Structure formats: structure tokens, C-alpha cells
Amino acid sequence: MNNKKPNIAVLIVAAGSGERFGADVPKQYLPLLGRPVLNWSVDIFSQHPDIKSVYVAIHPDHAGQFAAIAPGISAIHGGGTRQQSVLKGLEEIARRDKPDYVLIHDAARPGLSTELITNICITLKINEAVIPGLPVTDTIKRTNGASVKTESRDNLYAIQTPQGFKFDTILALHRQHADKSLTDDAALCEIAGPAVKIVAGEKGNFKVTHPEDLALMEQTIAARCGDIRTGTGYDVHKLVEQAGRKLMICGMELQHTHVLEGHSDADVGLHAITDALLATICDGDIGMHFKPTDARWKNADSSTFLRHAAGLVAAQGGIITHVDVTIICEAPKIGPHRDAMRARIGGILALPLNRVSVKATTTEGLGFTGRREGIAAEAVATVRLPFTSRPVLRDDDIRKWGT
């Protein structure tokens, strides 16, 4: 038996203009609980252990916007219709990679769950085409304007994405039927391809089409991530005179007579936020994840640590909703750099500016910060987690630790 892990790629189609939604910006770039709609699916696929690579088909006019919100994710220029965007995407994936399978997903469906992705991947092991669907529960009627006729809803399904296929099969079908106009990829299999397997879709995986859908999606995801956590972080680094070393605070280089001493770049602000994020998921502290004795972190850019902590939150299905950091020092002045720092932190955490707060205070000449011996930073992070990630106390633990 071949136990090698299959190479599964994902193609997210996001080249549409969202005409029915009618906003100035295409719906996939609008904010949804603090993250662009598109990022929800990019992030969930990127963090899924069964998925090897994620590609996004975008409109060429949105290349700059896309690079800003999803750095490091491969962008492919889509086409004039969804079907053309998929074909262009698959052709580009074929040039860059040779995946065994591909999952094709609409960016307009940000509410899919990790479990749904897992289910599609597992079902693909014994099927060439797998799609999520929900049995239709409403009564279905057909009308020609003049009369109305009730249709049987027996065996009718409302079909969603991601749709999973053997890569070579779906690419060949898309090439062969590029002239036809279809609304999903599995329709190609119905013309000439393999049998299509329907697995259980999810109510929360509906397509954002009209403005009211976005509000409903926000409520759906918020309800799923209602376990609100708060974490604090605190850090101190010593001020020293050292030629050639930069003073980094909250990801920005500041000009000053002194710099902060430390194994990494000693960015006291980013360290405090990193600890605050780790605290929300009860996952130790920065020193546990990045040993101060490890040569890899010598003079390291502390944005790496912060990004790692954010990745751990995301891996639990969490959403960072807000971070706040206070820098405690007499000098340098933080105020003039405040907004640049907020933008930098927001860039690292994919958070908009109104979810990142940077403050500063002196200690009126008192204590080590007052004597300018060091700089301290204190941070608070707020995260929403799915209730399922709550640690469960087993009977043994209760016997051992309970009173």
C-alpha cells in the first residue's frame, strides 16, 4: 500500500468584481471581523496539514492590494469568468507544480471549516471528484412569470466549494470544455468525467453575494469563535551604548544615543505582544519557543517571533481582535513613531490600524526606566477562539489537581 502523503494544492478564485454586492471594492477585499474576506480562506487552507500549496486567482488590477494582504501567497491572473479564472489557475499550477489533487474554492466563501477541508481530502483518497452539498430543505417552485409549479426536492442538493478533484482529470476537463459556460467545476465531470461524490456541506459555508450576507457571515464566524481570551505580556531590555547596533521598538528603527541589549534585536515592544498572544492560548512564553541560547535567533528580527505566535493562534482557529502595547521609557520619544509602529504591527498580524494600539509613558524619573537603564513594555492581546479548542480537564487531572 502506498502511504505517501498526496500533494494537494488549493486554487482560490478571487478575480470577480462582486457586481451583485455592489461595493466600491470587490467583496473579497472587504473586511470581515478585522480580516479581508479573502484572507479567511487563504489562512485556513495555508494552515491545514493536508494542504501543500495555496494559489489565488486575482484580477490583474488588484495585484498590489493582494500582495499587501497576503504576502507570500502565489497570485495568478484570473479571467473574465469564474470558469476562465479556474482554467488559468490550473494551467499555472501545472507549470509550477505537479499536484496529485486540487481543491477549487470561491474566495466568496470565507466561512468554511478545517473539518470540511479534512473531509474533502479524506474522501478524495477513494474518489476522483468530491464536492460539499446540503440537502435542499425549502420547497422549490419553478415559474415562468405567469404560472408557478412545485418541483420535487427529493435528492436535490445545494452545492458549495471547496470542490476536490484529481488534478490531471480536472485540468483536462477544463481545457476540453473551455467553450461551455458552467457555474461550478464538478459540472464538467457530469459531461464526461468521473463520478462525483457529495459529502456534507456546512450551513456556515454560504457564499457572500449580497451586502446582508457579509453581516450574517460575521455573526456566523463570531458565534463559532465566541471563546474570548485576554493575554498580557511584559518585557524589559537594558539600554547600552553599542556602535553598529540598531534600536528597534515595535518593529521600527529609532535614532537614540543608546540601543537595547539582547540576543535577538531586543525589540521590547514586539516581545511583549508576542507573550500576550501566547498567553491567550496558554502556550508558554517567547523564551520557550525561541531559546535565548539558540544561535538561530542571534540578532533576529523579532517580527519572526510575533508572526509565529499569530500562527499558533490561527492554528487553533483563533482570530486576533486587538492588541495594545505600552512602551515605558524616558527616551526616545515614542509619540512621533506611534502610527508607523501601529502600521508595522498591523502588517505583521494582518490587523487593521483600528485594532492596534501603541502607547507610551515615562515613570517620572523613578525606577530603572526613570534612570534610563532600560526600557520596559507591557502588552494586552484579545483573541477569539472556537469553543472546541478549550482544554478539557480529564478525570485524572481533576483527581490530581482538583481540590
Nearest distance, CB of residue 207 and Mg ion, angstroms: 10
Give all strands (DSSP E) within 59-155, no chain letters. Answer: 74-77, 101-106, 129-135, 140-143, 148-151
Among the listed residues 181, 161, 170, the one whose alpha carbon sits nearest the alpha carbon of residue 45: 161
User: Using the rule CB under 6 A, is 16 a contact of ligand CTP?
Assistant: yes
Closer to Mg ion by Cβ: residue 16 or 34: 16
Q: At what angle do helices 37-46 and 114-124 cross, to 10 degrees?
A: 50
**Count of residues touching ligand CTP (by CB under 6 A):** 23
- Binder among 80, 135, 365, 367 for ligand CTP (CB under 6 A): 80
The residues in 94-133 that bind ligand CTP, with binding defined as CB under 6 A, are 106-108
**Count of residues touching Mg ion (by CB under 5 A):** 1
Nearest distance, CB of residue 30 and ligand CTP, angstroms: 11
CB 309, CB 277: distance < 8 Å: yes
- Binder among 19, 61, 115, 373 for ligand CTP (CB under 6 A): 19
DSSP state of 386: -
**The dihedral sign for the CA sequence 83, 89, 94, 99:** negative
b/e burial code for range 280-310 (CB count within 10 A of at least 16 → b): bbeeebbeebbeeeeeebeebebbbbbeebb
Residue linked to cell 492554528:
315
Which residue has the closest beta carbon to ligand CTP? 16
Nearest distance, CB of residue 184 and ligand CTP, angstroms: 9
Binding piece for Mg ion, criterion CB under 5 A, among 8-16, 30-38, 39-47, 89-97: 8-16
What is the helix, strand, coil percentage profile of the chain, to 5?
35, 25, 35
The residues in 11-70 that bind Mg ion, with binding defined as CB under 5 A, are 16
User: Using the rule CB under 6 A, is 23 a contact of ligand CTP?
Assistant: no
User: Using the rule CB under 6 A, is 28 a contact of ligand CTP?
Assistant: yes
Closer to ligand CTP by Cβ: residue 17 or 299: 17
Single-letter residue type at 231: G
Nearest distance, CB of residue 60 and ligand CTP, angstroms: 11
Closer to ligand CTP by Cβ: residue 186 or 278: 186
Residue 133 touches which member of Mg ion, ligand CTP, none, C-beta under 5-8 Å by kind: none
Residue 20 touches which member of Mg ion, ligand CTP, none, C-beta under 5-8 Å by kind: ligand CTP
User: Using the rule CB under 6 A, is 18 a contact of ligand CTP?
Assistant: yes
CB 90, CB 106: distance < 8 Å: no
Judge if the upstream peptide bond of residue 49 is cis by omega within 30 degrees of 0: no
- 3-state secondary structure (DSSP) of residue 316: coil
Q: Name the site residues for ligand CTP (rule: CB under 6 A).
A: 13-21, 26, 28, 57, 78-82, 85, 106-108, 207, 209
